[in-house]
Amino acid sequence: MSSPTTQFATSGTMGIYQQSHQVNMWGNPFRADTSPNTCVSAVLEDDGKLDNKSEDNSNGTIGSSKKYDQEASKPVEKVLRRLAQNREAARKSRLRKKAYVQQLETSRLKLTQIEQELGRARQQGAYVGGVDTSNLGLSGTVNSGVAAFEMEYGHWVEEQNRRTSELRNALQASVSDIELRMLVENGMNHYYELFRMKGTVAKSDVFYLMSGMWKTSAERFFLWIGGFRPSELLKVLKPHIEPLSDQQLLEVYNLQHSSQQAEDALSQGMDKLQNSLSLALAANSLPEGNYVSNMSAAMVELEALVSFVDQADHLRQQTLQQMSRILTTRQAARGLLALGDYFQRLRALSSLWAARPREAS
């Protein structure tokens, strides 16, 4: 049996052992976690993981940022490109508009120049009380029928020159009679078109047509009731269509004689019309300035003037048609060529006369 001292010692030793064991139980884990080697390696390992994660995150952020910048830059480039295209389109539009405005201004200046030339030309025509009333209305505007005729006649002259050159080339090349006949018929129809144009403008302003202001100065010198004398024209053509057979000579002589008789009859009718118009204007004494109230008789006389112009053009057309029936195809072609050359020479003479040197006054 142990003594109390022994028991106490034993119990004390057991208590110390138990306490020491408890300390070891709690100390081992602690030492394992907090040992210098284990702690540093763990921290470095953890730091490495954190650094790797941060690098991954930063790389991901940079990559996504680049992608975003690229995606964001695409719309900006598209907008800039569109703005540049719009600026270029606007610049071209301004240039086109400027050119169009300049063209309009040029056309306006040309129209003003034409109107001035028409005004100067009409000053040489008929005047009433010092004011040209033939082509100017109360507003001072140009007669639309006259303006249209002058444009058409300008084109007619250009086409006539072309046809004359075509006839000359055909005769020099000795083309077939069939081809030559077509050129002759086209040339005849071209003159008929002129007569139609003159009939239209005569209804619009017969004084303008009678004055011959649509022709050159040399052509006006030979003017007869708004055109050429058929009998005089036959004299011009005859040397160019020879040799003629006896039958042709007889028929040309008869045509020239009948044309002369018709011309004389029309000229006598024009003289009577002029005399009647003069008597109508001087018939009654009118108060000063009252020139419109009693002009009905004079207006009736003037309406007959359009009929005289139509009859004169009809005589010209009939003379051309009769000549084409009398002559052979080649003779008719030479005649039309001579006629075209004759009018070209008259226009050339007018240009030379207008451009002649003038002595200073």
Rg (CA), the chain: 56
149 pLDDT higher than 60: yes
- Cβ(222)–Cβ(214) below 8 Å: no
Cis peptide before 243 (omega within 30 of 0): yes
pTM of the model: 0.60
pLDDT band at 291 (very low <50, low <70, confident <90, very high): low
Taken in order 111, 112, 117, 118, the sign of the CA dihedral is positive
**Predicted pLDDT of residue 100:** 72
HSE-up of 192 (CA within 13 Å, CB side)? Answer: 10
286 pLDDT higher than 60: no
Place of tokens 């010092």: 130
pLDDT band at 349 (very low <50, low <70, confident <90, very high): very high
* Helices and strands (DSSP H and E) totals, the chain: 10, 0
d(CA 303, CA 133): 16
- Cβ(125)–Cβ(134) below 8 Å: yes
